[in-house]
Structure 1
């Protein structure tokens, strides 16, 4: 039986631009950056959590033919692939300020919800990311 999620994937249109955003602006670490010949295997992780990787995947071979890859790129640009990631932070307001200062697109300001305070951002490709601070105990 499965006991953990260790790898998730999100579509990006340019892996170098994705590195600039996810590592340079959000503070993730590169876990693996390998040229496999037929594709670049590029994963990142939250610092200190190398067992939970996110694959920054370009639509294309070997998983997609050219027509499918083009359609996926169109959907990614529109934010319509359904791809999104969720993260936690200890201080949502500090995180918000840091991201605004780095020019990250905020799509929802920090909002108090029953499950904590959360906000939303958008990566350069249209993917939605949610960031949540748990409510005080």
Structure 2
């Protein structure tokens, strides 16, 4: 059965991106393989199935999309089983939240930004999808 294994995320620098995702969001660094002119860097939320491929921008068009991969919309949704724990941990690590947590019919959510300004939802569903 097909599944979504990874999504690429344009980054300015591998090291700063690894520091954010591993150091602030507690993702696992699964791979960091030097391929000569680029690296294969894969991070995954702890206990998660879908990874991010941290892809260093290498053209002017790619550089222009760093931090705006979704045209200003929320692009990625980080699911949690304990919203309050993760919101507190991310806040303490210096992650910027655009809003206070809110309750929605589907669960508890707050929008945060990655190190480049891409919008993410931190979300705890009322019923697991």
Cα pair 1:118 1:132 within 8 Å, conserved:
yes
Q: Report Cα offsets for 1:39-61 as digits up to 9, x if no partner.
A: 11100112234x5321011111x
**What TM-score results when the alignment is normalised by the length of structure 1?**
0.81
Q: For 1:53 and 1:132, how far apart are their aligned partners in 2?
A: 17
Give the deviation of 1:136 after TM superposition. 5.9
> Which runs of 5 or more structure 2 residues have no equivalent in the other structure?
none
Q: For 1:129 and 1:48, how far apart are their aligned partners in 2?
A: 18
Q: How many residues align?
A: 125
Q: 1:39 to 1:97 in 2, by over 3 A?
A: same
Q: Matches of residues 21-100 of structure 1 in structure 2 within 5 Å?
A: 21-49=20-48, 51-60=49-58, 69-76=59-66, 79-82=67-70, 84-100=75-91
Q: For 2:118 and 2:24, how far apart are their aligned partners in 1?
A: 15
**What TM-score results when the alignment is normalised by the length of structure 2?**
0.86
> Which runs of 5 or more structure 1 residues have no equivalent in the other structure?
61-68
Q: CA RMSD in A?
A: 1.9
Cα pair 2:106 2:127 within 8 Å, conserved:
no
Moved over 6 A (4+): none
1:133 counterpart SS class: strand
Bigger-Rg structure (1/2): 1
